[in-house]
Structure 1
């Protein structure tokens, strides 16, 4: 059933244009018709980027393997979650050679992550079924995010990073997303999950002041102190996003002394983030001095990215 659904979505791309598809999804989700030709709001500008901006760097840096070379050369390899192995096919996975805890995911999409907490109890067959399906998929046909279309799919095995060891889970940031405009961090989108599985997102400025806005999820009302490495995270984000008019740099914090790069995001939520109040959608849009980089080559900003090392712990 999932394969049939995916095939129909792929077929749909030959019938409905990206612009028509994205306009329809935008209107249904956000409740207003987007002006994609001359965008003003943040979500409109994300859609404009997906349709018209063909910067090849987006594809290179959306690849979870290729981006590692960029991160290593710009801020340092120590900020990368160590890779244990990479595979082209699920049958290459030899679980006996993996540690007790690890993470499997694909390099070319979203939602494929599988966390193993105990190798002895890990359902490898089920994991292979999920990963096989994701290897077959091309995210472009599902979200119309064109920069995912030309990424060669692989499976990555990463070390497991315990973000919440001996901590109050509710007060520990799950993912830290730094929204950067014109190469500078402006707002931090911080994810939290409480002990009951309820999800929250707080938006802070660069001085850790909570902002009166929500992104898709409600604010966590309990006050949270500024993480010790927050300012360092902003500094690293600024280095990573230098080439872009807008980019979101995502990080993980495993403890008070360790930061890990997560990913660079060029089209958050495929341009359909529910921002409340709506005025903030346009406030963020004003910060984005958008430009088209259709013919920009990789060498204009960084040397060509080398193939990421595989089957080697970094």
Structure 2
């Protein structure tokens, strides 16, 4: 999830001449940091720390504030979205790159949830021109191993545009590390490969199966985001539920605005098995989103996600005022499930300063 490069803005000097060029994201942080971090701050060090981090990760900070309506507290995060920023900036868990690798993660998952079924991998490699299109039978999907949200669905042979697919795959490989602008460092450690994978669909129709995104905190699944019909031409059904399948009356707020979660989904027959598999996969982490498909009576593995929407999408109570952004009460409630790794104030400052002094964003 990245933003386009920002234009520079001239900061005028007192005599009206151009002093220097400043990115709009820096001006945004400088304008908002005093009110967000310094007014009523209990500790000078916390206010200074938050300001420095906001300046270092200026685009990330600005995107967060514009989406969610408040400046993130990096030194003492409370909401789910704030804690996701903390994870991106400070948590260097050695498992994260593996969990972001759509190919390598399969062995990790098999060892922990051996009863899961995996979509077939028809081909993988680094050269898009080597994809054996003549030997592939649609439907199938083409996607990169180290990116999120990029997928090409080939429904039938007549719709197969080889040149367009190769161009897209080349672009995936040429582009900078996925998530770099928003601090998702783990993707930069994943080998850049192209995957051709089986497209799972209901029998007789090219409709994606029921997709369960299970949020696990400290080994316990707390809630489930349900989605169905993502790649279909018809309507899409979505909802947020507790682990006991009680609908949580919220909608979702993303960068593009409101996403209505209709709910009304019958309790799945293998809900207990879905939750057990997700908890087994996520047992060694403080938080992990485990995505599983239910097709017939079989549970398929989809992917693991350590940066849910990069922490810039949140849930909020239905009928809440969403102008210009949703209230953070539900975001705080979800954040209460997640206890971050313990870092001393000295270690947090050390990591923050090292990040501040490093190059690029």
- Bucket of the pairwise TM-score, normalised by the shorter protein: 0.7 to 0.9
Whether 1:178 aligns to 2:178 is no
| Counterpart position of 2:101 | 63
SS at match of 1:175: strand
| Counterpart position of 1:258 | 298
> CA separation in 2, counterparts of 1:173 and 1:286?
31
Q: Displacement, 1:173?
A: 6.0
| Counterpart position of 2:284 | 243
Q: Displacement, 1:135?
A: 1.6
1:106/1:131 contact within 8 Å kept: yes
Whether 1:203 aligns to 2:243 is no
Whether 1:88 aligns to 2:121 is no
> CA separation in 1, counterparts of 2:229 and 2:180?
30
> CA separation in 1, counterparts of 2:271 and 2:206?
18
| Counterpart position of 2:114 | 76
Q: Displacement, 1:99?
A: 1.9
1:112/1:131 contact within 8 Å kept: no
Question: Relative to 1, partners in 2 of residues 1:124 and 1:142: Cα closer, same or farther, differing over 3 Å?
Answer: farther
Structure number with higher relative contact order (C-alpha < 8 Å, ≥ 6 residues apart): 1
CA offsets, 1:97-129, max 9 Å, x none?
A: 212322111100023211111124311111111
Aligned length: 280
SS at match of 2:189: coil
1:52/1:292 contact within 8 Å kept: no
TM-score, normalised to structure 2, is: 0.71
| Counterpart position of 2:260 | 218
CA offsets, 1:132-179, max 9 Å, x none?
A: 1112221032432111111110011111211x336897xx86421001
Question: Aligned Cα RMSD in Å?
Answer: 2.7
| Counterpart position of 1:291 | 341
Question: Which shows bigger deviation, 103-112 or 44-53?
Answer: 103-112
> CA separation in 2, counterparts of 1:154 and 1:121?
23
> CA separation in 1, counterparts of 2:227 and 2:276?
20
Whether 1:149 aligns to 2:188 is yes
Query: Runs of 5+ in structure 1 lacking a partner?
Result: 296-314
Written as runs of structure 1 = structure 2, the 5 A alignment for 1:116-127 is 116-127=154-165
Aligned partner of 1:102 among 140, 164, 168: 140
Q: Displacement, 1:244?
A: 0.6
Query: Runs of 5+ in structure 2 lacking a partner?
Result: 8-22, 27-53, 254-258, 318-327, 348-361
Question: Relative to 1, partners in 2 of residues 1:77 and 1:154: Cα closer, same or farther, differing over 3 Å?
Answer: farther
| Counterpart position of 1:227 | 268
Q: Displacement, 1:93?
A: 0.8
> CA separation in 1, counterparts of 2:342 and 2:170?
35
CA offsets, 1:217-241, max 9 Å, x none?
A: 21215x2211112211000000000
